[in-house]
Structure 1
Amino acid sequence: MAEGYLTGDATAHAGATDVALFMPTLTGGGAERIQLILARYFLAQHLKVDVVVCKRAGSLGDSIPIGARLVSLDAKRVLLSLKRYERYLRKARPRVVISSVENASAVACMARARGSHRHRLVVRQDNALTGAATVWRDPRRWAWLILLSIVYRYADHLIAVSRGVEGQLRRLIGKGGPPIGLVYNPVILPDFATRLHEPSMAARPLCRHPMIVAAGRLHPVKDYPTLLRAFALLRRSIPATLVILGEGDARAELEALAGELGIVHHVEFAGFVSNPLPLIHVADVFVLSSLSEGLGGVLVEALAAGTPVVSTDCRHGPNEVLGGGLYGRLVPVGDVEMLANAMKETLDDPRPLPSVELKAHLTQFSFDFAGRRYMDFLLS
């Protein structure tokens, strides 16, 4: 646990905070997890670290690394946290702020524009700015992108988690904006091998049949309906089991769809699992069915675990992670039949992964590699 739970009015470290990692909450999403991983790296470099959240909510409270200070602004909404965030800046005087998740990053940029406290601001863009088909028809999303195109200019650096996201940021900001860099998320941690073989209920084989695993929040962008329909199609020829790890508002709807498709007894919605690696490791196939991804870090974990992978070729990360199809099968977004065929082909004939090339490829997603890149931005 962290050294203590504090509020936005708390006294600062002895001396200024070196790095503040700012995000909306402590939910179990990928962006929040990466922020806490970066906190671990900075602490290992003997830096004073604050984890600053707009509201202390979510399942990652016990994942705050020892030595970091948790600061909650206790705001009702992220976009209404500006004044409390500015008060934190004045009291803690962080030298560097790294923000993540768009609404928190917008607040951090607005505070920077208002000159609340002089500091270096690094904005991490974890998700695709556009990508899902619904985005193109959503005027609220486009209005939000216009706002981001303005406020992001007040950051000192913008960090993209994939080449595709990097290109989107360059188009969004245009000329004259802050430097934009690419740093893949630190997905493979020093304790990866230990966690991979950690005894847990997730490591128990759930059935005698081939097991397919998917992981991620139960949200429309993950397109689990396509996965369920593809799995129902697969079940006509292979008696497989599907395990979906993650929680979200779409759970009831997805469970109802599984019932309609007649697969309810062959699909397990396992909920939030703090360490999904043992289950991913014993899976016969790992599947990602997203409409869009910033990177798709769970694909990196599956590859590092030695599990065959099938993914949609969505914007932007999966194609990069899977080496354009070299390390796993890629299928068109939303194509039920192609996804079912790819799962069947993988179960029938799993590809042996090119170990030497894959090991070199995965290095760029490691804890030390990404940490050093972030230190470069902090010190530049």
Structure 2
Amino acid sequence: MTFLHSFEPGGVERVALRLHEAWRAQGRDARLVMGRTAGAMKREWPDLNKGGLGYEILGSERIPSSGWETLWMIIHLPRAIRRIRPDVLFCAGNSYTIVAVMMRVLLGKACPPVVAKISNDLTRSDLPAPARPFYRLWLRIQGRMLDRLVGMAPPMRAEIGTLMGADNARIAVIDDPSLAEADIQRLAAARAEARAAPQAPGRRFIAIGRLAAQKNFGLLIDAFARMAGEHDRLAIIGEGAARRALEAQIERLGLADKVRLPGHVSPLDAELAAADALVLSSEYEGVPAVVAEALAAGLPVVATRCSVSMEDMLGGGRFGLLVPVGDAAALAGAMSDIAKLKFDETAARDQSRRFTVEIASHRYLALMEDLARA
């Protein structure tokens, strides 16, 4: 059983839906329970109940739950677990671990074993100093109460073991399935088509993610303002609560004709194909799906060192440039220099194949079957 709040766009949710869809296509009894049906990602799965995702809703949608969706799920999920009796619960990311831990508390021995994907950097250096001891304690609690912990790239194994106190036998590494092989082929074709068309002057940068503090798009806009030439352009694809602040910043810096915020866009093929580089300005990440998508599209990447896995994703510097978190000057410099990188588009696309659902869905199933037997 996989539990998700909604179809609101998010990397964790999109990957979970991909995995669920793959498990059902493989003939497995995979159940998906949702807190509510709202969200733009519904457009990506148009035939949700016609042999597709086959989901059900927790509680009644007549009661608005978006403002307290975690508590809503904690209240309603135990009843679904008792009724369906799944062999394993799949916790799709860090934002859902509080729900998984509460299922262990509320259901006790009746709670199925939990496989939890660790979807974000665990060091969280962005947290204020007074909050860090409590956060470290919370990680230890998760490490004790969740049965299997899955890192999304090899460097995460040591981080999980150290910060969550989990022994090596309970840690697995499965590369994050943010792509399908069909996506890679489609992105490559879109890139080839875009290159065959007449090219506008200037450089095109793209950033993708929720307009939220974690993504620090304000830093990106500041960096772009420092290095942008007359014809350079930046597109920040996504939606969220930070939109007004970002729009005000763009206006204040006189970038209204250079920076656009088109909102949630799906699919991203045309946007990625038209860009010269992806920029990731985040405070913290796990294994960002947008980086795998950029590599599949044949784009180099400029990123902050927002994750222990970032250097591994970028092939030790072969596919992009890394800068310190929160350093606008360094980010601007890397954006200026990215065109000088000796970038091998074919090798980058091969790197992206690590992150496919065709590989990960089978590895997750094997892990879950072993856990259910144990």
| TM-score category, normalised to shorter length | 0.7 to 0.9
Shift of 1:333: 1.7
Q: Is the partner of 2:71 in helix, strand or coil?
A: helix
Q: Is the partner of 1:217 in helix, strand or coil?
A: coil
Does residue 82 of the first structure (1) align with residue 63 of the second (2)? no
Point out where structure 2 has 5 or more consecutive residues left out of the alignment.
Answer: 60-64
Q: Distance in 2 between matches of 1:153 and 1:55?
A: 30
Comparing 367-376 with 248-257, greater Cα deviation is found at: 367-376
Does residue 26 of the first structure (1) align with residue 7 of the second (2)? yes
2:53 counterpart (34, 56, 68) = 68
Alignment partner, residue 221 of structure 1 = 214
Q: Distance in 1 between matches of 2:52 and 2:71?
A: 28
Does residue 260 of the first structure (1) align with residue 252 of the second (2)? yes
**1:206–1:80 Cα change, 3 Å:** farther
Shift of 1:144: 4.8
Q: Distance in 2 between matches of 1:205 and 1:307?
A: 18
TM-score, with length taken from structure 2: 0.85
**1:43–1:267 Cα change, 3 Å:** same
CA deviations 1:289-322 (Å, max 9, x no partner) are 1111101221111111111221112223322210
2:36 counterpart (52, 55, 68) = 55
Amino acid at match of 1:128: D
Q: Distance in 1 between matches of 2:23 and 2:119?
A: 19
Point out where structure 1 has 5 or more consecutive residues left out of the alignment.
Answer: 1-19
Q: Distance in 1 between matches of 2:338 and 2:88?
A: 45
Aligned length: 354
Matches within 5 A, 1:38-187: 38-64=19-45, 66-74=51-59, 76-113=68-105, 114-115=107-108, 117=110, 119-133=112-126, 135-137=127-129, 139=131, 142-174=133-165, 179-187=170-178
Any runs of at least 4 consecutive aligned residues in structure 1 with deviations exceeding 4 A, and if so which? Answer: 175-178, 195-199, 202-208
**1:138–1:100 Cα change, 3 Å:** farther
**1:72–1:137 Cα change, 3 Å:** farther
Does residue 301 of the first structure (1) align with residue 293 of the second (2)? yes
Shift of 1:54: 2.8
Amino acid at match of 1:374: Y
CA deviations 1:133-159 (Å, max 9, x no partner) are 2x14352x6535523422442322111
Q: Distance in 1 between matches of 2:369 and 2:272?
A: 37
Shift of 1:354: 6.5
Contact 2:114 2:146 in 1 (8 A): yes
Comparing 98-107 with 302-311, greater Cα deviation is found at: 98-107
Contact 1:109 1:152 in 2 (8 A): no
CA deviations 1:21-43 (Å, max 9, x no partner) are 11232220100000001012101
Q: Distance in 2 between matches of 1:111 and 1:332?
A: 38
**1:47–1:332 Cα change, 3 Å:** same
Contact 1:106 1:152 in 2 (8 A): no
**1:117–1:321 Cα change, 3 Å:** same
* Structure of greater relative contact order (alpha carbons < 8 Å, 6+ residues apart): 2
Larger fraction in helix? 2
Contact 2:201 2:231 in 1 (8 A): no
Amino acid at match of 1:104: Y
Alignment partner, residue 180 of structure 2 = 189
Contact 1:24 1:103 in 2 (8 A): no
Alignment partner, residue 363 of structure 2 = 373
Alignment partner, residue 18 of structure 2 = 37
Comparing 20-29 with 37-46, greater Cα deviation is found at: 20-29
